[in-house]
Every structure is written in structure tokens, then in C-alpha cells.
Amino acid sequence: MALLSILQYPDPKLHTLARPVTAVDARIQGLIADMLETMYEANGIGLAATQVDVHERLVVIDVSEERNAPLVLINPEILWASEERVLNDEGCLSVPGIYDGVERSTQIRVTALDGEGQSRTLEAEGLLAICVQHEMDHLLGKVFVEYLSPLKRNRIKSKMLKTRRAMGKADVA
């Protein structure tokens, strides 16, 4: 297993549309293991392949307090989302240190392949439902800050670029 580099907003690669995974093979299973290790090391609860510059429809999530209940969603599709919505502060490993309110469905039903390539249907509510929706946005090339006003988004972009410069990293946008 290996730690992967997480793309940082406003990297334009975060806006890449992920393509379907065609086979759940050793390469994908290795990527799953690396993504889980990376997510746990970064103290995250979810990570999409897009965030590690792999543009395939793969998400790993673990919202358990013990950090021992990994969930793998390959080629996830939302079958149903509740009309009831909730506004929650969200953060993102690609936008470290930034949290803001995003409105999402409180319950969802998702179909996906698991890490073994078996088709599964997942009913999710609460934090898990929010996390799945957040990570699936990444597969569509969308970062949570895009739900915010242009003013907030521009402030976040400026802050992220300033932080990158202070760390001696090149600008990406």
C-alpha cells in the first residue's frame, strides 16, 4: 500500500469527469487499498479517485467512529434521493481547513459495485448519505465549494493559492 497525493483546489484536474471502472481487477483493488490508507492518514471520511488524480468512478468512505468500516463504491449511481434536505457544514481533503454549509438530501439509495465487483444497493441517511453525495460530486468534477456563492468561492480560491505559494508549491490555476 502507498499514500497517494491528494489534489488541492483549485487544481483543474478536480473538474475532470470520471469514467466508469471497466473491471474490478488487481489494479483497482490496489487503488482501493491505497485510497483507504490515504484517507485514513489524512483523517478524512471519504475520498474519490478523482482527488488522487485517477479519473475513474471509485469512492472509498468510512464514517464509523472506530475507523474500521470501509465502504467501497465502484460506478455508483443514485437511484433515489429524499426531497427532505439538510444544511450541514462540509469540508474536503482537497480543500483543507475550509468548511461551509451545503444542502443535500437526508436519505439516498445508491447502487454500486463493491471492492469484489459484486453489485450492491445501499440505503444511506445522515452523515453517510451526505458523504456519499459529496464524494459522488467529485466523480462529476464538482468540488463542494461550487455550491457556495461566487464571492465565497473566490475567497477560498485566493486563500488556497496563497497557502500553496507560502508552501513553495506552484500555482495550478
The 8-class DSSP code of residue 166 comes to H
Spot the catalytic one: 56, 123, 135, 146.
Answer: 135
Shortest CA distance to 130 belongs to which of 99, 79, 85? 85
- 55-70 burial string, b = 16+ CB within 10 Å, else e? bbbbbbbbbeeeeeeb
Is 15 annotated as a binding-site member? no
Task: Output the CA–CA distances (angstroms, integers) from residue 11 to 16, 29, 31, 64, 157, in the order listed.
Answer: 10, 26, 21, 29, 10
* 113 touches 81 (CB < 8 A): no
* 153 touches 160 (CB < 8 A): no
- 135 assigned to active site: yes
Residues that constitute the known binding site for Fe cation: 92, 134, 138
Q: Which residues are marked as active site?
A: 135
